[in-house]
């Protein structure tokens, strides 16, 4: 199935609301309780956005909201499609491309992940400093996009300035945040004990089956994540990757308490 252009999806979104946020937040498992804190203006189902897949994971409603969070205009995506469902990386990462075409400059990704670092505790928040792609595929594989780099520098993917702001917000609210390396697996099976030990030796602090494909796509599209290259060109898109540590089998276990903490940090 051929995908539409990201511009087609962005055009559809611009018809939904007059709001033109520069910040987008993708709510992963366990983060949907954030929605009541959003002062929503309009919403649209993923099914009505060209190229968007409708997720079928519990709590991933598959709706995109225009609204304000803490007074800041924002797009909130409730849920995401997952690679382990059998979709191509092109389809899974398409919303990231559409957001860039819409004009999003900052992207906050969230997910529930399994903790590897023994100092972490269930329910901790971790901001990504780097990631390891263990999915067996690179989302940038294939024909290059005209005007975009063929070989993308991933030396410093996550933006240090945004990370500093995030930790400053957490400190002001007495909320302990972690930093660490996220290891992305393809799923859907959970990892063996031997794999977890191997991941720890590789330097991973947490692991999961959601979310690293969009990172490379954002870099290639002129964007980044919670730590991006310093000295980027003016107007360069920045992004945040933010995880909740826990048992991946119990991704919904913390509900409203997690939402309250998350909203305070934002």
Separation between Cα atoms, residue 220 and residue 38, nearest integer Å? 30
Separation between Cα atoms, residue 224 and residue 257, nearest integer Å? 29
Give residue 84's region: left, alpha or beta (phi > 0; psi -120 to 50).
alpha
Note the pLDDT tens digit of each residue in 100-144: 999 998 888 888 889 999 998 888 888 898 999 998 888 888 887
Task: Say if 238 falls within a structural domain.
Answer: yes
140 DSSP 8-state letter: T
Task: Say if 1 falls within a structural domain.
Answer: no
Task: Say if 143 falls within a structural domain.
Answer: yes
Task: Say if 250 falls within a structural domain.
Answer: yes
Task: Say if 73 falls within a structural domain.
Answer: yes
Structural domain boundaries, residue 188: 6-265
Task: Say if 148 falls within a structural domain.
Answer: yes
Task: Say if 231 falls within a structural domain.
Answer: yes
CATH number, domain with residue 151:
3.40.50.1580
Separation between Cα atoms, residue 184 and residue 201, nearest integer Å? 15
pLDDT in tens, the chain (266 residues): 688 999 999 999 999 999 999 999 998 877 887 888 899 999 999 999 999 998 877 667 899 999 998 889 999 999 888 888 788 888 888 999 999 999 998 888 888 889 999 998 888 888 898 999 998 888 888 887 777 788 888 887 887 888 888 888 888 878 888 999 999 998 888 899 999 999 999 999 999 886 655 544 444 444 434 322 222 232 334 445 555 555 544 444 445 566 666 666 76
Separation between Cα atoms, residue 228 and residue 237, nearest integer Å? 9
How many structural domains are present in the chain? Answer: 1
How distant is the alpha carbon of residue 214 from its chain centre?
7
Joined tokens for residue 151: 């070989």
Task: Say if 72 falls within a structural domain.
Answer: yes
What is each CA distance from 45 to 85, 99, 144, 148, 249, in whole angstroms? 20, 15, 30, 30, 27
């Amino acid at each position: 199935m051929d995908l539409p252009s990201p511009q087609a999806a962005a055009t559809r979104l611009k018809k939904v609301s007059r709001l033109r946020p520069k910040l987008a937040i993708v709510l992963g498992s366990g983060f949907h309780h954030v929605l009541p804190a959003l002062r929503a203006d309009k919403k649209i189902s993923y099914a009505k956005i060209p190229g968007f897949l409708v997720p079928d994971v519990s709590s991933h409603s598959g709706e995109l909201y225009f609204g304000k969070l803490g007074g800041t205009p924002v797009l909130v995506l409730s849920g995401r499609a997952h690679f382990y469902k059998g979709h191509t990386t092109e389809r899974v990462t398409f919303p990231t491309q559409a957001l860039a075409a819409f004009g999003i400059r900052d992207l906050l990704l969230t997910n529930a992940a399994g903790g590897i670092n023994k100092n972490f505790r269930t329910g901790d928040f971790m901001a990504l400093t780097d990631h390891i792609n263990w999915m067996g595929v690179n989302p940038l594989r294939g024909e290059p996009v005209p005007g975009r780099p063929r070989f993308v520098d991933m030396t410093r993917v996550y933006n240090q300035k945004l990370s500093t702001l995030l930790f400053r917000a957490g400190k002001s609210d007495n909320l302990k945040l972690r930093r660490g390396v996220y290891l992305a697996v393809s799923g859907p099976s959970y990892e063996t004990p031997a794999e977890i030990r191997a991941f720890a030796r590789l330097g991973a602090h947490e692991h999961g089956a959601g979310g690293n494909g969009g990172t490379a796509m954002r870099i290639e599209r002129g964007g980044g994540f919670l730590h991006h290259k310093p000295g980027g060109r003016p107007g360069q898109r920045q992004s945040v990757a933010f995880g909740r540590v826990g048992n991946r089998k119990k991704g919904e276990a913390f509900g409203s308490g997690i939402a309250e903490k998350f909203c305070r940090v934002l």
